[in-house]
A and B are shown apart, each in its own frame.
Chain A
């Protein structure tokens, strides 16, 4: 435990030092899993970082390291940021969970914020976005606009986050179009333009005229554009360059308000460990401009749906909903609880195929 004490004392010395220099600069670190130019997940986190700089100007200093592998590399990068005097560190990938907890133990005076995880500590908060709310709107538009009644879905990994999105999109597509059918391809990557393009092409060949993606590159958009009559939705980032068609709308991750709020809390000394799971209402999930390729009445319905979700009047998982095997999940009018949603590992009734293991 020698190192721990050493580092704790180093951190304390640093804490004192920054305390003395004080108040002038709060140092905020960001650990990114991809390159900041990925146009998707990491890009949006970096936008959040830039918003923090903009908001606080000279009072804040931000540092980041991009393309950090999950595991021991991320642990080293976080430790390094803490040693170098960071007051608050955002770790922006699920795989950073255990490393974040490990490093947080060694630096009790540094605050950590881990995206999409479930492990917390006195100095570790978690935060994530309710992307499934945006998926409901995508499902509505997709179900309304498909002519072949086949909707393609590029999944990244079969984890609760992704399965939630598939279920939400399916439920709302089915509501407006009972004949709709989902074809799901697992790409086993978050970001791999070549694989994503292949997946999109396979789906289009199988007759899909709508392609939804839970991967971060714009490759599926390009594939859809090439194929012609196919519509898509931007993922994580707006991907507006592919509008008005194939990209007809998008789900945008907007981390800026949350990041600004948390940095402010550290500055004010009011930071506390919390678990945040925000959706369209607080603005963490944004719905990108619905383009003119969408019929006016569909657009209107979609926007109405968005407002109802934002105000909390409607929950995308409202019963009656059965699980894929036909067993009852939610009774009439019942809404899903966050625990079940967080660990969702089943398809809802009507989706074909099984979740790979």
Chain B
């Protein structure tokens, strides 16, 4: 008989070592999966984890890690604030889309004007777009007590329809022969979120993600608001007694996460993606939820988790191409990694007891 027994204090040693154990478990079971599929497991793992970082073409993949990881980290940082306080913004994908639409719309409105002020205005518009979209569930929750999980999630689908409408109508490239999709902002210099150093992968979104990590770290560690967030999540009653205003906290957490998701969308559409298209969003807003939890809702953890997710995506694509692994196998592998990370997380809070249960 195996039982779980709650630890009086979460184990710090395990909290640090479970991620490594999870990665090892994934190697073993993932390797088995690849072997069953008839591939050399060592080669497959090496392709996914080693190639992008230290392989022959690492000079290309390392910058790609920044490009893929930045939006994940930026969104996840915002989400983690709310998650810590028990405020569940599940709709970052929608806020990401709205940020992209607002940012791109401002940029396209200036086309073909030149001016240093265009890009800053786009940043502002992108942030506002994401913020405003998140304010809908925030306001409804504060005013009418609606469930922010449902409202924010449903608004993702509304945002997707809005995106399709924009790609086919208002923001459609007038020189695009009737095809959907906006002008490519990469070809409009004042609106282009270009790499700060060519070939580095460092665009403004990466900078913003790093600033967000530092900002969240300081906020949670030093600021009174950070204390309010933590105490609300851990002991809501105590929070109320200590003078935390729950409505203001909801507005702050949803607003901030929306703002950061909006920024992520804006930096993506003006940089790596370049265009508003029907399929612009590829799930960063949902993956960021995983990244937030994978990083234990801690800013530094999120930074590492974002990097790890980016690595499995990039390495996974290389493995598909070079080894002929099916995409589904890569997804199972990624799922395994998350499963083990979260499953082993139980051990930091509980200990295993082997033996007969005590009579009740």
Contact = CB atoms under 8 A, between A and B. Distances in A.
Contacts of B326: 36, 66
A6 B199 contact: yes
B198 A160 contact: no
B184 A157 contact: no
B46 interface: no
Interface string A73-107: 10111011101100000000011001000100000
B179 A188 contact: no
A355 B280 CA distance: 21
A66 B328 CA distance: 9
A76 B314 contact: yes
Contact of A63 (B68, B198, B314, B322): B322
Contacts of A266: none
A98 B318 CA distance: 21
Contacts of A63: 321-322, 324
B179 A71 contact: no
Given A64-B321, A65-B321, A356-B168, A343 B177 contact: yes
Interface residues of B, number: 44
Interface of B: 57, 59-61, 63-64, 67-68, 161, 164-165, 168-170, 177-181, 184, 186, 198-199, 268, 272-275, 277-280, 282, 313-314, 317-318, 320-322, 324, 326-328
B99 to A, nearest CB: 16
A77 B61 CA distance: 11
Interface in A122-147: none
B199 A71 contact: no
Contacts, number: 113
A357 interface: yes
A56 to B, nearest CB: 17
B272 A72 contact: yes
Interface of A: 1-4, 6-7, 10, 29, 35-36, 63-73, 75-77, 79-81, 83-84, 94-95, 98, 102, 118, 157-160, 188, 342-345, 356-357
B279 A118 contact: no
Contacts of B165: 356-357
B55 to A, nearest CB: 10
Contacts of B57: 10, 80, 83-84
Given A65-B327, A343-B177, A84 B321 contact: yes
B282 A77 contact: no
Contacts of B282: 69, 71, 73
A272 B57 CA distance: 29
Nearest to B177: A343
Can you list the 5 inter-chain pairs with the closest CB atoms, starting with the nearest? Answer: A3-B199, A357-B169, A72-B272, A343-B178, A69-B282
Nearest to A356: B168
A160 B177 contact: yes
Contacts of B169: 357
5 contacts: A2-B199, A3-B198, A6-B199, A80-B318, A188-B161
A160 B178 contact: yes
A188 B320 CA distance: 28
A16 to B, nearest CB: 15
B277 A95 contact: yes
A127 to B, nearest CB: 16
A3 B60 CA distance: 8
Contact of B278 (A29, A188, A342): A188
Contact of A79 (B60, B198, B274, B277): B60
B272 A71 contact: yes
Contacts of A10: 57
Given A63-B324, A64-B320, A69 B198 contact: no
Nearest to A79: B60
Nearest to B280: A71
Contact of A70 (B67, B177, B277): B277
Nearest to B316: A65
A174 B180 CA distance: 29
Contact of A188 (B164, B186, B268, B274): B164
A66 B199 contact: no
Contacts of B272: 71-72, 75
Nearest to B165: A357
Nearest to A81: B321
Nearest to A2: B199
B305 to A, nearest CB: 19
Contacts of A75: 272
Contacts of A344: 178
